[in-house]
Amino acid sequence: MNNTFNEGLATKGHLTIHKIANGEEELLFDDKNVIVSGFGWALGHLYGLAGSPTVTDFQIDRFQLGVSGHAGVQVSSTFQLSGPLSSTEEYTTNGDSNLLAVSADAYANDQINGTQSVFAKIPFSKVTKIDDRSVRYTIFVDEDSCNNLSRNSNPMNLNEIALWVKNPKGRPNDASVMAAYRYFSNIRKTSDFGLVFRWTITFG
């Protein structure tokens, strides 16, 4: 995968993260993100008529959260999170969670990585056209989601997120590719609050 297509489109992104508690929003993060080469790869398949014949397969309709984000992975060649949540249970802490978690294959450098990944879906109602060049994805991680995460009995914090294109090759089973990535300061998610990620992608 390369980033030539992205550079030609001058694609850019911006992410804000708000903490929601007692009906109040607190801004935790506000910065640009990295549009990764997989997005250009997916769009190249779309415009070159070399991928799925179904346009909905090119939608950004899912995201991943992770617990091992750092500056070193925030580059255009990134194709996976450093420490993605790895089970439905990590996303949906209990049955009241608003998140729909699904398993699917994922591409890494034009190849299926061989191990299914877990994603959470972005409802179509949470995808908003801002203007002729910009689309906003609103991701709500409610009070019943992603709580008290741990690995090997060690508490883990949310600190990375990525957007993914659904299935650009049109495979019988979804095989997604990363479109955008951002790491952020540690957030220890508990049932005391929700998080809202507002991610805007703008085409030049």
pTM of the model: 0.91
Mean predicted confidence (pLDDT) in 61-84? 84
pLDDT recorded at residue 25: 96
Asked if 88 and 101 touch (Cβ cutoff 8 Å), the reply is: yes
Give percent above pLDDT 90 in the chain.
67
- Cα distances (Å, whole numbers) of residue 90 to 26, 107, 155, 170, 183: 24, 22, 13, 28, 18
Q: Which two tokens stand for residue 200?
A: 């805007």
pLDDT recorded at residue 100: 95
What pLDDT, in 10s, does the model give residues 5-20?
455 457 899 999 999 9
Q: Give one DSSP letter per residue of 145-179, joined into a string.
A: SS-S-EETTEE--EEEEEEEES-TT--SS-EEEEE
Q: pLDDT band at residue 3, thresholds of 50, 70 and 90? A: very low
Residue whose token pair is 């002729």: 132
What pLDDT, in 10s, does the model give residues 122-134?
999 999 999 999 9
Q: pLDDT band at residue 44, thresholds of 50, 70 and 90? A: confident
Cα gap 18→8, rounded to integer Å: 32
pLDDT recorded at residue 195: 98
What ranges do the domains of the chain cover?
4-202
- Model confidence at 24: pLDDT above 60: yes
Q: What are phi and psi of 8, to 5 degrees?
A: -65, -35
Residue whose token pair is 């993914």: 164
Chain mean pLDDT for the chain:
89
Q: pLDDT band at residue 72, thresholds of 50, 70 and 90? A: low
Cα gap 9→156, rounded to integer Å: 37
- Model confidence at 74: pLDDT above 70: no
Identify the sign of the CA torsion 48, 54, 57, 61: positive
What pLDDT, in 10s, does the model give residues 108-124?
877 887 788 999 999 99
Cβ contacts of 145 within 8 Å, gap of 6 or more: 91, 92, 93, 97, 98, 99, 189, 194
